[in-house]
Structure 1
Amino acid sequence: MQSTQNYLWKTEDVLGQGATASVFKARNKKSGELVAVKVFNNASYLRPQEVQIREFEVLRKLHHQNIVKLFAVEEIENSKQKVLVMENCSGGSLLSRLEEPENAFGLSEAEFLIVLSCVVAGMNHLRENGIVHRDIKPGNIMRLIGEDGQSIYKLTDFGAARELDDDEKFISVYGTEEYLHPDMYKRAVLKKPQEKAYGVTVDLWSIGVTFYHAATGSLPFIPFGGPRRNKEVMYKITTKKPTGAIAGIQEQENGTIQWTYELPITCRLSLGLKRQLVPILANILEVDEEECWGFDQFFAETNDIVHRTIIHVFSLPQAVIHWVYIHSYNTATIFLEEVFRQTNIPPHHQEYFFEGYSYELEPNLQARNFSRTTETCPLILLSTEPEDQVGLRYRDPALEFPKFFPKVDVVADCSTAKDVLSATHQTLRISQSLQQCQELVLRGQYWVCETLKAEWLRILEKKQTVTATLSCLQQDEMKILLLYESIAGNGELPEIKGLAELKTRLQAVSEEISWCSHSTSSEYQAVVRCILCEVRKKISQMKEDRSIQQMEACLAKMQLIYNQFKKNRKHLRLPYNEQQIHKLDKLNLGHLAKNVLSVFQDNCVQQYQAALLAHGIRMRKVFEIRKYLKKLNRSLTTCSAEMSGCQDYLHKALDELPQRLLRVKKTSSAPAQVYLTEKHQDVLFGMQELQDQMKVVAHNLQRNNSIIQRFNGGAFTPSL
């Protein structure tokens, strides 16, 4: 037990160790509050006095939520050694987080965004105070669990930090070699003379390596045998890196270096975030200071990511989910363009559904006013044109599973067990993504088919209205023609010829409506019902599937074995009985891994592939039906417009009929007066009857126009 005036700790409660100091978990003697104390070793006192006190001075100057707080500087009671009393970050470091098997392929997107936000905010505070850290790495980024359960990351270990303005240089070398700027690496690791002075941008290189590590679970630059065993090649990789490359790996001894310009497929980040992040990594992982970004541009680009809104979009025809990063003030027009960049579906072809409703995006609607989406509740995107199916891209997790060597080696076995556990986590994540994709596909298909059903009903209603209107117009046309013929006598009035042409036009409308009537009763309605039946059946089957639960059960057992292997690793040699148990655990771990892969390949993958095949068939049918319905709608709309023109002509003919009667009376002889009077009365009676009927026609046409408007812009409300 050691103590200062206000704090005490056990030397076995080690939180971390470095070259010059160790950090212990301690308690306040009065309040019992947990803190961390940094105790310096003898090597630290070999440094110049100004270097020893520099960390104290730097920490006193910094006050930020993403910088570890300094509570006090005290002395150990028996040795008078100075210690730093700091806040205790119970979540460990970012490095310890990345070393957990579930994060072997990088952090989740949500967690990575927190790391990005916290590190950028902390670094911005350092630059505002003119401080260069010089040892940025995951081990020096601590994690605190906030009251809301969310992670808070904080920069720590300012033993190498010093005050330095943007235009100043330094020549001393500090840092951890995998994260060192190549110029510093040459002098510190290779021990070669380097006359070049270093600027504040050395921190940017370290941040780039750290962000890559957090995103992928691996270092970006790896020579054959590892960075610590092949230092010359490590230096070559970092200094010969092509512009734009963000990683370089040498897979064989003396082999060529494989450069990559994108984050790996195993990375858990979405395409939307990768598109934002890769240019940043490419521009801060530049050896040439002239080519490397400065902090101003780095802060501008990273803060641009942090302050964007995420809209989750599932492209139904392609069967792929996207995370679309846009600013809250961006309009729907910009959103549609960003979706186009990720899906290649042009904005004018994009249609959206959300929670069972058609989702209309007004061009000037700002993203802050969009409905809130999640991975499990995204906007469903449908294209008005056929799209090629893409599906989920992933690397076969079977390639990630290592094999155990028969010989008992507690260190090697623990490492292999960790790799097996990591591969299992990755397999489980891929399986969950495959299942989620199937669920979204079925949900989208259900909504689209419900849309088609609603459209069928609207078309039937529209067709009935159009048919009724046509019948009235044909009757009116016939009666008006008879009236004109009755007053024409032996002569022929111009209106009679016009009414004959009108009859031909109405006949054409009648034939078009007849075609529509036949079409709306075709097999397409049966196809929609069949698809809905299939979707409901598949949803029911998916609820009964236990593949994910089986894999989770295997994972829990594998975790227990790995925990035991970590305990065994502390011993150089196991007793005979424990060695036998260890061998059995290795066998069990191998069997569990095989079970996981079997469930993945035989259940998850096969079901997913079958679902994609069925999805492709259904979507082709859906597209054909949607196309046909639009054709029917256009035909009925054309018929309605044509009948409106016919109705106008009939109104005009009816309005002119009294004038025709007057002209006939003036030219008639006296003996015919009685006949004309009777005919006149019949015509007037017919005109009154026609006016009443044409009011009905006008009402039907108005109702038809209302249906057209609802058909073109109406919403539907299916539920799943």
Structure 2
Amino acid sequence: MQSTISYLWHTDDLLGQGATASVYKARNKKSGEVVAVKVFNTASYMRPREVQGPGRQKVLVMEYCSSGSLLSVLESPEHAFGLPEDEFLVVLHCVVAGMNHLRENGIVHRDIKPGNIMRLVGEEGQSIYKLTDFGAARELDDDEKFVSVYGTEEYLHPDMYERAVLRKPQQKAFGVTVDLWSIGVTLYHAATGSLPFIPFGGPRRNKEIMYRITTEKPAGAIAGTQKRENGPLEWSYTLPITCQLSVGLQSQLVPILANILEVEQAKCWGFDQFFAETSDILQRVVVHVFSLSQAVLHHVYIHAHNTIAIFLEAVYEQTSVAPRHQEYLFEGHPCVLEPSLSAQHIAHTTASSPLTLFSMASETPKGLTFRDPALDIPKFVPKVDLQGDYNTAKGMLGAGYQSLRLARTLLDGQELMLRGLHWVVEVLQTTCRRTLEVTRMALLFLSSSLGTDRFSHVAGRPEIKELKEASELRSRLRTLAEVLSRCSQNITETQKSLSGLSSELLKNRDQVHEDRSIRQIQCCLDKMYLIYKQFKKSRIRPGLGYNEEQIHKLDKVNFSHLAKRLLQVFQEERVQNYQAALVMHGQRMRMVHETRNHLRLVGCSVAACNTEAQGAQESLSKILDWLSHQLLQDMTKGVQTSPPPTDPYPNPEPTDLVLHMQELCKEMKVLALDLQDNNHVIERLSRVPTAPDV
């Protein structure tokens, strides 16, 4: 046991250990409060006097964080390729808040790294990260400089690295922005699971190349590596494809990293700009958008006070679909986004319940782009090497977790493809029903009109030329009725085709829900993790007995078999299934595209027929009006015509003829009005979002 006046701890309760100190779990002697104490060793007294404290018996007492550090989170195999997006945003928020507090109090930390960012779990299960270990901190205003060097070399600003690690004499003074470089490296590490600057052999083994990478880095580059001994330096201006952050977040984050990982302090951002840009990210809300034509899920970051027009432009930046071509569905219903409204009117989305975007642009679905985890999986060496075997198992397990994440994403992508396409088919079927209803209404009215021939009794009177014109109009109306009849039949056939596709999509969705690949991969991972835990224990032992060594070798064989099986399930079942689904999705999208265009043409034909029929009915109504008027005049003047020939079926009396004409005229006017109403319905129908073009 060790103690101070107020605190007590046991050396077995070690929480962490570094080059200059050890951290233990301790208790307050009076209150029993659990804390963490940092006890410095002899090496710590080699540090600059300003960071040693007034006496050698002092310890640092800190808040106890039960969930380890950000470094311990990143070192777990599950996060071998970085944090999930939601967790990364929590880290960003906490680091920015902590640094803002330090700057408000004029303090430079000088040793920012994942190991000095502790994690604890809040009451609602959320992560909370806190900056700790202020052993190297000192008060420093924005315009002040310091000359002493302290920190962890992988996270050191290059000027400090040159002096502290390479031991090169130089007279440079350092300002508060050195913390920004360390933050940049830390954020890159959190986003990707690895350091941004890696020489061949690693940062600790090749220090000169490490310095070269950081000082020769071109403007805008955020990472540099050397992949072979004495090989060229390779630069990266984007985050790696294995990173779990969305393209939407990466587009906001990368410029920040590029401007704080700047070796020349004059070109590096100051804290004011850093806080402004990171706060801009943290104040945004994410809208999840699944592009049905691309089969890709996008995260669109916007401010709640932005207009929907800004959101549509942000979607354009990620999808290349112009705002005028963007049409949306949400939970199966058309979603009309008015550009002038606030973005707050956009529905609340999640990755599993996004806005579904379809466009008029024709393109082949590209789906999710990813790196095959098999390319990142190491292999065991034949001999027993406890530390090496642990490292290999950790790398293999990390690739396994990446396979599991990708498998889930691919399966979710299939579900979104099928569900979104099913919704579009439903909208098309609704369009069919409405168009068919309008078509049948028009046919009914025309059939009613053409089914009676109330002026046939005067058709044999050649001196009335208007009768010939009326006959021609009736003939045209018959032709229009035939066209509408064909349109009706065409729409009915389209409905059958869409119903078949809808049933097929529902069947495929059931198959996706029954997919077992995720469970199989998870089962392999669970077994691998148990072996990994044993390797983790064994690595700190000086050696193994004969029987233990044989068990260790067998575990290596089993571990390799499990990893092979996991990758086999991922590649042969999940990936191949997804690729086949992507091809089928492209074919179905082309069918939907053709169906939509076909329905548009049919709708235009129906509208044109209605318009023409309306005009013909109006003309016919006028003729009938004139005929009834003329007959009425003839009767009034008592005009006598030559006696009609004997007819076994005599025509009606003139008075009856006038009444028939007037009734027919009224019917024609009503029919014209009905056709006009039909056209209004068609116009509204054409404005209802239908299926996407591909």
TM-score by length of 1: 0.89
Q: Deviations over 1:396-415 (max 9, x none)?
A: 11111111111111111111
Tell whether the 8 Å contact from 1:221 to 1:237 is kept in structure 2 after alignment. Answer: yes
Counterpart in the other structure of 2:550: 580
Counterpart in the other structure of 2:40: 40
Counterpart in the other structure of 2:647: none
Counterpart in the other structure of 2:106: 130
Map 1:145-160 to 2 at 5 A.
145-160=121-136
Q: Deviations over 1:379-400 (max 9, x none)?
A: 1112223222111111111111
CA distance in 2, matches of 1:124, 1:673: 111
- Cα offset for 1:26? 1.5
CA distance in 1, matches of 2:676, 2:26: 82
- Cα offset for 1:648? 3.4
- Cα offset for 1:661? 4.5
Counterpart in the other structure of 1:618: 588
- 1:577 is paired with a residue of what secondary structure? helix
Which among 649, 652, 656 is matched to residue 682 of structure 1?
Answer: 656
- Cα offset for 1:108? 0.5
- Cα offset for 1:706? 6.0
Which among 371, 381, 395 is matched to residue 419 of structure 1?
Answer: 395
Counterpart in the other structure of 2:22: 22
Name segments (4+ residues, structure 1) moved above 6 Å.
Answer: 483-486, 670-674
- Cα offset for 1:691? 4.9
Counterpart in the other structure of 1:632: 602
CA distance in 1, matches of 2:619, 2:568: 75
- Cα offset for 1:512? 3.2
CA distance in 2, matches of 1:97, 1:107: 9
- Cα offset for 1:239? 0.8
Q: Deviations over 1:244-275 (max 9, x none)?
A: 11111000111101111111111111111111
CA distance in 2, matches of 1:357, 1:539: 19
Tell whether the 8 Å contact from 1:465 to 1:703 is kept in structure 2 after alignment. Answer: no
Mark the CA change 1:693 to 1:662 in structure 2 (over 3 Å): closer, same or farther: closer
| Letter of the 1:644 counterpart | Q
- 1:15 is paired with a residue of what secondary structure? strand
Tell whether the 8 Å contact from 2:40 to 2:59 is kept in structure 1 after alignment. Answer: yes
Which among 371, 386, 390 is matched to residue 366 of structure 2?
Answer: 390
Counterpart in the other structure of 1:371: 347
Mark the CA change 1:490 to 1:513 in structure 2 (over 3 Å): closer, same or farther: closer
CA distance in 1, matches of 2:166, 2:422: 63
- Cα offset for 1:209? 0.8
- Cα offset for 1:597? 1.1
CA distance in 2, matches of 1:34, 1:170: 36
Which among 480, 483, 487 is matched to residue 509 of structure 1?
Answer: 480
- 2:124 is paired with a residue of what secondary structure? coil
- 2:585 is paired with a residue of what secondary structure? helix
Counterpart in the other structure of 1:169: 145
Segment of structure 1 superposing worse, 202-211 or 354-363: 354-363
CA distance in 2, matches of 1:684, 1:665: 10
CA distance in 1, matches of 2:613, 2:161: 84
CA distance in 2, matches of 1:689, 1:194: 108
| Letter of the 1:629 counterpart | L
Counterpart in the other structure of 1:68: none
CA distance in 2, matches of 1:184, 1:396: 38
CA distance in 1, matches of 2:360, 2:606: 21
1:560 aligns with 2:530: yes
Q: Deviations over 1:179-198 (max 9, x none)?
A: 11111111111111222221
1:361 aligns with 2:303: no
- Cα offset for 1:355? 1.5
Mark the CA change 1:48 to 1:396 in structure 2 (over 3 Å): closer, same or farther: closer
CA distance in 2, matches of 1:568, 1:21: 25
Which among 566, 570, 580 is matched to residue 600 of structure 1?
Answer: 570
Mark the CA change 1:48 to 1:201 in structure 2 (over 3 Å): closer, same or farther: closer
Counterpart in the other structure of 1:403: 379
- How many residue pairs are counted as aligned between the two chains? 685
Which among 61, 73, 95 is matched to residue 71 of structure 2?
Answer: 95
Counterpart in the other structure of 2:491: 520
- Cα offset for 1:531? 1.8
CA distance in 1, matches of 2:84, 2:431: 41
CA distance in 2, matches of 1:305, 1:498: 72
- Cα offset for 1:236? 0.8
Q: Deviations over 1:664-692 (max 9, x none)?
A: 45765479999xxx855224311442255
Map 1:110-125 to 2 at 5 A.
110-125=86-101
1:195 aligns with 2:156: no
Tell whether the 8 Å contact from 2:20 to 2:43 is kept in structure 1 after alignment. Answer: yes
- 1:700 is paired with a residue of what secondary structure? helix
CA distance in 1, matches of 2:217, 2:117: 27
Which among 256, 263, 267 is matched to residue 243 of structure 2?
Answer: 267
- Cα offset for 1:441? 1.1
1:643 aligns with 2:617: no
Which among 222, 247, 253 is matched to residue 246 of structure 1?
Answer: 222
Which among 690, 693, 700 is matched to residue 667 of structure 2?
Answer: 693
Q: Deviations over 1:295-342 (max 9, x none)?
A: 121111111111111111111121111111111122222222211111
Q: Deviations over 1:69-126 (max 9, x none)?
A: xxxxxxxxxx993333321111111111100001010000110111111111111111
CA distance in 2, matches of 1:621, 1:364: 34
CA distance in 1, matches of 2:662, 2:638: 24
| Letter of the 1:239 counterpart | T
CA distance in 2, matches of 1:191, 1:46: 15
Q: Deviations over 1:14-68 (max 9, x none)?
A: 22233443221112334433221223334445667654449xxxxxxxxxxxxxx
| Letter of the 2:664 counterpart | L
Counterpart in the other structure of 2:59: 83
CA distance in 2, matches of 1:483, 1:366: 67
Mark the CA change 1:30 to 1:369 in structure 2 (over 3 Å): closer, same or farther: farther
Identity %: 59
Counterpart in the other structure of 2:325: 349
TM-score by length of 2: 0.92
| Letter of the 1:17 counterpart | Q
- 1:441 is paired with a residue of what secondary structure? helix
- 1:245 is paired with a residue of what secondary structure? coil
CA distance in 1, matches of 2:124, 2:369: 34
1:467 aligns with 2:443: yes
Mark the CA change 1:32 to 1:648 in structure 2 (over 3 Å): closer, same or farther: farther
Counterpart in the other structure of 2:9: 9
| Letter of the 1:248 counterpart | G
Tell whether the 8 Å contact from 1:104 to 1:217 is kept in structure 2 after alignment. Answer: yes
Tell whether the 8 Å contact from 1:389 to 1:616 is kept in structure 2 after alignment. Answer: yes
1:186 aligns with 2:186: no
Which among 513, 528, 531 is matched to residue 543 of structure 1?
Answer: 513
Q: Deviations over 1:122-152 (max 9, x none)?
A: 1111122222111111111111111111111
Q: Runs of 5+ in structure 2 lacking a partner?
A: 645-651
**Superposition RMSD in Å:** 2.7
CA distance in 1, matches of 2:170, 2:449: 97
Segment of structure 1 superposing worse, 413-422 or 640-649: 640-649
- 2:59 is paired with a residue of what secondary structure? strand
| Letter of the 1:528 counterpart | L
- 1:321 is paired with a residue of what secondary structure? strand
CA distance in 2, matches of 1:47, 1:408: 39
Tell whether the 8 Å contact from 1:309 to 1:367 is kept in structure 2 after alignment. Answer: no
CA distance in 2, matches of 1:500, 1:526: 38
